[in-house]
Amino acid sequence: MNRFATKVRTFLKSEDGPTAVEYAVMLALIVIVCLTAIRAIGTNASTTFNNVATQLGS
C-alpha cells in the first residue's frame, strides 16, 4: 500500500497542469463561439423584426 501511495504522489507532482498557452487557446475558442452565436441570434432577431414591421405596415 505504501508503494501505491508513493506512486500516486509522484504522479500528482509530475503533472504541471494547463499552461498559459492552453488557456489562451481555450479563451480564443470560447470567444469565437460566443461571437458566432451572437451574430446568429442578431440575424434571426433582425429578420423577425423586419417581418413584424412588414405585416404591421400592410
5 vs 26, higher pLDDT:
26
* Calpha distance 32→29 (Å, rounded): 5
Cα gap 48→42, rounded to integer Å: 10
- Taking only the tens place, the pLDDT of each residue in 10-49 is 766 765 566 777 888 999 999 999 999 999 998 889 899 9
The pLDDT of residue 11 is 67
So what's the pLDDT on residue 54?
92
> Domain residues of the chain, as ranges?
19-44
Q: Report the length, in residues, of the chain.
A: 58
- pLDDT for res 21: 75
